[in-house]
Amino acid sequence: MASVREIKRHIKSVSNIKKITKTMQMVAGAKMQKTLSALLASRPYAQLAWNLLLNLAPKTERELHPLLQIRGIRNSLLVVITSDRGLCGAFNMNVIGEALRQIKDKETHFLITVGKKGRDFFIRRGYKVIAEFTGLGAPAPFISITPISQIIIDEFIKGNVDEVKLVYSDYVSNVIQRPTTIQLLPFQQEQPEEPFLAQFIYEPSPSEVIENLLVRIIEYKIYAAILESQASEFSARMMAMKNATENAENLIQSLILSYNKARQEGITKELTELSTTKAVIESLKK
Partner 1 sequence: MKFRLEIVTPERLVYSENVDVLTVPTVQGEISILARHVPLVSIITPGEIRIKKDDEIEYMAITGGFVQVLPHKVIILADAAERAEEIDIERAMRARERAQKLMEEKRGDKITHAEAMAAFQRALVRIKVGQRKRKQK
Which residues lie near partner 1 (CB under 8 A)? 38, 41-42, 44-46, 48-49, 52, 56, 141-143, 197-204, 208-209, 212-213, 216, 219-220, 223
Least separation in angstroms between CB 186 and partner 1: 22
As measured in angstroms, the least distance from the Cβ of 227 to partner 1 is 10
In the bound state with partner 1, the residue whose beta carbon lies nearer, of 49 and 136, is: 49
- CB of 166 closer than 8 Å to CB of 79: yes
Instruction: Output 1 or 197, the one with its CB closest to partner 1.
Output: 197
Q: Are strands 163-171 and 177-185 parallel, antiparallel or unpaired?
A: antiparallel
Beta carbon nearer to partner 1, 15 or 206: 206
Contact assessment for residue 81 and residue 95, using Cβ atoms and an 8 Å cutoff: yes
Q: Minimal CA–CA distance to 207: which of 80, 90, 57, 105?
A: 57
Cβ of residue 85: shortest distance to partner 1, in angstroms? 23
CB of 127 to partner 1, least distance (A): 26
Q: Please tell me the distance from the alpha carbon of residue 204 to that of residue 180, in angstroms, as a whole number.
A: 38
Chain Cα centroid distance, residue 79 = 14
State yes or no: cis peptide before 141, omega within 30 of 0: no
Residues in a beta bridge with 81? 114
Q: How far apart are CA 220 and CA 216, in angstroms?
A: 6
- Please report how close the Cβ of residue 55 comes to partner 1 at its closest, in angstroms: 8
Say if residue 135 is exposed, middle or buried (CB neighbours under 10 Å; 0-12, 13-18, 19+). Answer: exposed
Q: Least distance to partner 1 from the beta carbon of 198, Å?
A: 4
Q: Which is nearer to partner 1, 217 or 248 (CB)?
A: 217
Residue type, 151: I
Residue 272: CB atoms within 10 Å: 10
Beta bridge mates, 177: 171
The nearer residue to partner 1, 201 or 284, going by C-beta atoms, is: 201
What SS3 class is residue 109? strand
Give residues with Cβ within 8 angstroms of 6, minimum separation 6: none
Shorter beta-carbon distance to partner 1: residue 154 or 246: 154
Q: Which is nearer to partner 1, 98 or 219 (CB)?
A: 219
For residue 262, the minimal CB distance to partner 1 (Å) is 58
